Structures are given as C-alpha cells and as structure tokens.
Structure 1
Amino acid sequence: MTQTPYSQILDSLMTAVIVLNDDLSIQHMNISAEMTLGVSGSKVIGKPIEVLFSPHDGTPQSLADALRENTNFTKRKATWKLHHQKSLTVDYSVTPNAESGNVVIEVQPLDRLLRISREEAMISSQETSRNLVRSMAHEIKNPLGGIRGAAQLLSRELNNEDLEEYTRIIIDETDRLRDLVDRMLGPHKVSQREEMNIHETLEHVMSVLRAETNGSIKLARDYDPSIPDIEADKAQLIQATLNIARNAMQALTENKDEHKPPPAITFTTRIQRRYTIGRKYHPLVVKASITDNGPGIAPDLIEDIFFPMITGRAEGTGLGLAIAQNLISQHNGLIECDSVKGRTEFILYLPLENQHA
C-alpha cells in the first residue's frame, strides 16, 4: 500500500477511513477499513471505489455526486452491499476537498457497536447468573453433607440388608448431587498461566474426540500456523474447548440421518485485529472456531445457551457451556455462537497480550 505522511496516524484509528483520488480511485485504506470491508488495501489501491461494492449498491454514485458538488454529507444506518455480497450497516461521513481532489470517507460500522452492546449485556447477565448459581449451590451443598452423614450413621445401626439398600441409595444420590453442585460452582484451583500455543489445546481435544468417536465423525483442522503463543491455563482451555467439542459430537451422534452429509467437526484458528470484548479493546486476539454440520441449535435457545441449566438435550445438564464461558472469561476472553440448520459454530476469542487474572 502506498505510504503517505498520514498513513501511520490513519492506521492507528479504530474508525475506518478510506481516502479517494479525484477520479474516485482508492488512494489509501487504513487497517480498520480493511477489516470492515473484508479486503486487503494493497490489492485495491489505484482501483475504482466500485471494487468494494456490489454493482447494486448506489454508494459510489453518491460519492461521485459529493465530489462534483464539493459538498459534505453524512448518512445514518446506511446498508452497504459489499463486493462479497455481505451486507453491512454503517454510519458514514464524506468530506471532499476540491483543492486536493481527495475524498475522505469515515465509516462507523453499526454491526460492531451492536455486537459490543450485546456482548456487554451478555457478560453482565452471565456474571449475575453465576453469582446466583454459586449462592444457591452453597446453600444446597451444606445440607447435603448432613443428609449423607445421617444416612451413613443409620446404615451402621441397621441389620437388614434390604433397609441398608435404601441408605446406600441415599448416599449415592447425595454424592451425585454433590458432584453436580461442584460442577455448578466451577473450578476451585487458581489459574496456572504459562506460555502455550492454542493449537496444542485443539490437538489435545481432537485426540480425545477421535478416541471417543472411534472415527465415526470426521475431524478436520484449518489452522493459521503463524499465531503466536498466548499466556493461559492449559488445563482450563482444554476443559472449555472440550465441553464445546463434546456438545458438537453429541449433537452429531444423537441426530443421525442417512440423507445428511457425513458428520464432521472442523477446528479453525485465525488472528482477529482490533477486537473489543465487553468494554476492553484488544489490538490482537486469537479466534478459534469449532464448527459442526449437525442439526443446529433451536432459535428459542440460542440466546440462553451459556446460562446454567439451559440445554436442548434430554440427557444434558446445561452446565458444559456455562463452565466453558466462565473459564474463557477468566482469560478475559469470550465465546460466541452462530447456528443454523446444518452448521453450528462456536467461536472463542482470546486476547494475545498477556492478561493476568
């Protein structure tokens, strides 16, 4: 990309900025604009602005009119149809300069702002839910110990094997409830952070799935090998990733259909630039995706799947995803889900800069 005296300043902005020549060819795009429009600036420099848009989008003509009339204008909640046919909702301002023959376009994607607001609300709701569940779990756990102890004492006083069977049931069921409560409370150990590569975690999870499915599910990988190490608790990342992957595996094995394509799970990694998680901005994050071609998640569940006790499976406890989200949030990250019939994708976002809990 051609460097201008202001290139470094423009590239540091979170606002997407596009600079056009007087013939509406692209002179410069900052990094935010590349990310917003899904193009590499070096490949479009010198090309007409139309290359960024679908032929059916009228934005290039609006820019030509602005340059001809030398008038500034701003459009709110405009829908851009981009070159790859994706739609983008934006606020954008156009500032032409007749003397220099340039047009500066400042773009604020509203999809991103809506996503940030949605994530903030989700993180806040999940934190409230976790606190409530922890309080309830502690209240449940205390009497369970008393019930178990009383059952043990009672079993010692009984000489009838049939009656002792009842006390064994009480003890076993109490232990089962205690284990469930422990899972609701989440991990008790302090995070042990170390430098590690995200692919180590994914490869470990794949090996576990391979053993559990005995080859009945195709496991594929699409990695970016250039991703640097992150500082994380390896055991916690494995647990979070395994919870998600097992959900995908169970969705595929419990919904077999001869007419569907062979069941498959794909693990993908990429670098995401300039990403905001909650209110915190991160220059670089690791984006790790787990995608399956199963039946998808019911639309009425998709917004609540990360809350405890929410599940679409008859045998599910509804704790796996809640625990996974909790573990990733301890790494200042986030898990998102996008699901339609035939494709469900869980995306883990983990900041690359060192994050100490």
Structure 2
Amino acid sequence: MIYERCVNSGAARLGRLCLTHGMLDTPAFMPVGTYAAVKGVTPDELAALGAPIVLGNTFHLMLRPGAELIARHGGLHGFMGWHGPILTDSGGFQVWSLAANRHLTEDGAMFASPLDGSRRFLSPEGSIDVQRALNSDVVMCFDECTDYPVDKSVAAASMARSMRWAARCRTHHADSANALFGINQGSVFPDLRTESMDALTEIGFDGYAIGGVSVGEPWPEKASAIEAAITRAPVDAPRYLMGVGTPADLVLAVGYGVDMFDCVMPSRNARNGYLFTNAGAVKIKNAAYREDFRPLDAECGCPTCRGYSRAYLHHLFRCGEMLGARLNTLHNLWYYQSVMRRIRNAIAAERYDQFTRQFLAGPEGVGTRAAEFFGVATDCG
C-alpha cells in the first residue's frame, strides 16, 4: 500500500491511496456492503456512481456463506463481482453490538450466532485469517468498542485490551501484501485517545482508524475524541473515521484531517424514504410530493434524477415497490460521492474553510448541531 498526500488546506488533506485492487483519491466515502452487497445496487452501478471502494463485514461473512466458500471464488472481489478495492471490518463492532450474546476474554470473543444460536469464537488471529480468505485490500484489526456512557476505568481497560489485540493482529498479518489498519479506541476521553494512538503508532500500521465514535455520544465529546486521536496520528498514513455519518459530519471531520469514511446512512435512509439533496432533505413519503413533477434534485446527475419525478418516487414508496428503494439508494449514494468530490475540489483549491462555512450555512447543513461544536460559524456574511 502506498499513501501520498497531495495538497493540504488547513488540516484537510487531499491524497491518493494505492491498494492491491486499485487506487482511490481521498477524502473518500465507502458504501457499506455488509453481506457482500450494497443493498439493491449492483457493482457496476456502484462504479458508475463513483464509489472508489466498498466495505464488507468479516463477522457476518464468516457466518454466512463462510470464508472458505468465498476463498474458493478467489476472494470477496470474485464472489461479489466488484473489482475495485474492498475494506473489511474486523468483526470488532459485533463485540459491542452483540454484547448480550457474547463472552469476552483476553483470547477473543465467544458469540452466540444471530443466525442459529451456535457458539462461534473470534480472536484477533481468527479475524485476520478470515480477512485473508476474503482477500481484503484493507484489513482491520480486531478491537473492542465500549458503550456510551462508560466509566473511564472501563474505557481504559477496554482500550488497553484493544491495543494488545492490535499487536497480535500485526504479528499475524505478517508480510501480507494487503494493508492493515489499527483502530484507535478510548471512548470520549481525550487522554485515552492519545494513549491509544501512541500505542498504535509504536506497533506500526499502514493506516489508522478512529473507532467507537458512533455509539450515541453527543457532538462535543465526539469532536474532542476525533481531535485527540488525529493530533497524534502519523501524517504519512491515511486516517479512517469509522461509522460516520451525515454529510455535514463528513465535511467537518475532513477539516480535522480525516481521509476515509463509511456509514450505512445513505442506503438505510434511502430505503426509509429520506433523501439527501443539494436543496436539503426530502422525505419522499410526504403527501406534498404526490403531484410534484420535478426531479428529486435538479442539480444531480444520478439516474434517478435524470429519469424520474418526485411524484413517481412518492408513488413507489407508498406502494412498497422495491424499485423505489433502489432508485432512492442510487440517488443517495450518488449524492454522498458528489459531496466527496466537492470536498476534494475545495481542498485542491485551498479554500476548504470557506467551503465548510458555506456548506453548513446552506440547506445541506440544516439540521446539524455539529457546527457549533467544531467551532465553525454558519454565518457566511
């Protein structure tokens, strides 16, 4: 893996990441394909929308269809028909989300499968083995994510365990040609975040992720955790903020120096009829759109906006037609990629601070409280 920083605009970074299955410009957003598919969208459509990389989930693919079967397809790329880069989560998030059905030890986590209740064990080494079978371009370390709120002593112990697991992942990954990212933890405590990043840097990884900031914490604490981690992250490696977020979240976090993002929001919101546009959010189920013959977003170049009216999308949603979910998803994913293109263009022009203020002051920034906590005024003057 090769990462090259090209331009800085303040702390915002324009870069290029070369992986086994291709190159991507950063900052970049990764659509989430948990089960080797972004719901309702083909790989060719994803490529046409501008997605440079997709995310799959180690834990769920380990359970179904199984890493061995995917390996017989030559890895996840051949299995799902996506030939660009793939990043796989380690399964560590399930250590948190399935807390009621797992037992955690220093060795790893014993889970009750959500499919059939069978007992399954996942360790740092086991997670790396599964991701090796998937042939992920970016392999993530197995880690533990804590609840919010959490006592600092609990967060500290959890973070320390994640750092020990990170060292085991680094050793087991050995000389693989694919990239390995460490995951920064420490909940909302800045000193734990810096301690964690220092530990990861000492171990040495190809990239550095910030985990555990999408579990319900308010923006002031999320912001301080991100800032603390970023200030200690190596400048010559990519930074990945896991599970974040709204378009405004992306714009603001790039201003801290984040390079990569993933989130289910564009696809999940699309299936629920919540659509992002340059003029603000559209809740397509609302009766106001029943006879609205305009495109969803006149400035958008996606297939949905080029071919269909708001009235038609409203009709599809009200009827429960799967085509509606597909068209909505195509639009939201296009929108997210368009935001990333605008972000990259603003950094290249060295006007990122101005872009951020304009974005937050406009209709796309409406509804976010993040601005005040990131110190960004929404009055463009």
Normalized per residue, the structure richer in strand is 1
Rg larger in structure: 1
Fold in common (TM above 0.5): no
TM (norm. structure 2) is 0.20
TM (norm. structure 1) is 0.21
**Bigger RCO of structures 1 and 2 (CA < 8 A, at least 6 apart):** 2
